[in-house]
Amino acid sequence: MEAATVTGHCAADFEGVRTAFERNFREHGEIGAAVAVTLDGEAVVDLWGGHATEDRSRAWERDTLVNVYSTSKGMTALCAHLLADRGELDVDAPVARYWPEFGQAGKRDIPVRWLLSHRAGMIAPRHPLSPGRAYDWDYVCDALAATPPWWEPGTAQGYHAVTFGYLVGEVVRRITGQSLGTFLRGEITGPLGARVFIGTPAEEHPHCADMVGQLDAALLTEQFPELPRPPLRGLDDHPLAALALALMSIPTGDINSAAYRAAEIPSGNGHATAHGLAAVYGALAGGGLVSAATLEELRRPQSRPGEPDLTLGALVPEGAPGISWGLGYMVNSEGRVGPSPRAFGHGGAGGSYAFADPENGLSYAYAMNRYGGGTAGSDPRNRVLVAAVYEALGRVRG
């Protein structure tokens, strides 16, 4: 495959990251991508290369934005934790304290903690929504408020693939009076100068890369045409049924359209640069966004050891570590992302990933536009980059 032009800055000790990044274009079919790393608050890697479109007509630039799918969830969770840090949100209080309508249908006592840790049993509305409804925030939130949980809340974890952003985002909106994307931009990414958006302004659309390939949830429903009814049973026999339900219940439409980019779907339509994501996680790693107590709480595992995820379990390769959830973040207690056991972050369908490693003062972000595999750091392009980062860190730390 033709080598791509890679541009940007890489500290001498981290040249192995550049080598791995360039190899991804030759060996893993990369079209356009960026990788960024900060160490002790300084950018040590800021590389980009390839093309922003499938026809290679537009080069990837430093400020190219791309849909990072569920890597967006890390930004959404951070908004909630900022409010908790300020004393405006109690994660152990019932969601209904902030959003009274949510208390319907057996959900009166569900705490915010279970929204953040994917334990609320709210993976989908009771009836799939029609196309375009994903862009109607109030409509989706009203549907979720009226929905009974799909399993007994608190008893199991199941990735809230699409609904997480509406559920957490509505709590943020009820407290602040601002949409999730507006709050994120005004309180976090804007002050940091980080190019990360949930609800991307029209003037930024020319800077957006097109995703090439995307998650085809329709294939899942073809395999499992009868979506499960509550309570969810038989997931061992039909392990993709919950995922099909979660993804197809709120169809989001063409991910390269202006409507999708402008909408706020905080579970999965954040548009970001790698250096923007790394800046946010770098601020977290350095203690510049929330208190030490909040930092500890958000990455404290909420999953039981070895606990399966009802939604993602079938997507975890045999023998690979399962998903362990903190409060809105994938936690690294099972060594999923690099060797640092207390690192935390979030990945996105297709391959993007971003995380903080406070113990090493490090942050990392990878974003790309060729849809690959994995929402939890398992994409081979990401894995070789993370390995190169920690190999370099070992040299730096001696």
- 276 within some domain: no
- CATH code: domain of residue 133: 3.40.710.10
Residue 179 in any domain: the answer is yes
Residues 196 and 308 in one domain: no
Q: Report which DSSP code applies to 164.
A: H
Q: Which domain holds residue 14?
A: 6-63+288-397
Same domain, yes or no: 59 and 77: no
For residue 157, the 8-state DSSP code is B
Q: Is residue 250 located within the same domain as residue 368?
A: no
CA-wise closest residue to 394 among 8, 18, 26, 16: 16
Last residue of a domain, one of 228, 262, 296: 262
Domain match, 85 and 176 both: yes
Q: 199 and 78, same structural domain?
A: yes
Which residue is catalytic, options 70, 303, 333, 378? 70
Answer yes or no: is 375 within a domain: yes
Q: Nearest to residue 197, comparing CAs of 180, 211, 219, 217?
A: 180
Is residue 279 situated within a structural domain?
no
Q: Write the CA distances from 260 to 52, 69, 256, 323, integer angstroms.
A: 17, 12, 7, 28
Residue 58 and residue 81 in one domain = no
| Domain identity same for 53 and 91 | no
Residue 121 identity (one-letter amino acid): G
Is position 267 within any domain?
Answer: no
Pair 137, 29 in one domain: no
Question: DSSP letter at 269?
Answer: -
Domains of the chain: total = 2
- On whether both 59 and 115 belong to a single domain, the answer is no
Q: Check whether residue 249 and residue 189 sit in a common domain.
A: yes
In a domain, 277, yes or no: no
How many helical (H) and strand (E) elements, i.e. helices and strands, does the chain have?
Answer: 14, 10
Residue 355 lies in a domain: yes
Residue 19 CA to its chain's centroid (Å): 26
Q: What is the pLDDT along the chain (398 residues), one digit of tens a residue?
A: 566 799 999 999 999 999 999 999 999 999 999 999 999 999 999 999 999 999 999 999 999 999 999 999 999 999 999 999 999 999 999 999 999 999 999 999 999 999 999 999 999 898 888 888 999 999 999 999 999 998 899 999 999 999 999 999 999 999 999 999 999 999 999 999 999 999 999 999 999 999 998 765 544 545 444 444 444 444 444 455 667 667 767 888 889 999 999 999 999 999 999 999 999 999 999 998 999 999 999 999 999 887 888 887 655 555 555 678 999 999 986 666 788 999 999 999 889 999 999 999 999 999 999 998 766 677 889 999 999 999 999 999 87
Active site residue 70: yes
Asked whether residue 131 falls in the same domain as residue 172, the answer is yes
Choose the final residue of a domain: 262, 278, 300.
262
- Answer yes or no: is 28 within a domain: yes
Do 77 and 157 belong together in one domain?
yes
Q: Which residues fall within 8 angstroms of residue 97, CB to CB, at 6 or more apart? A: 90
**Distance from C-alpha of 388 to C-alpha of 320, rounded to nearest angstrom:** 20
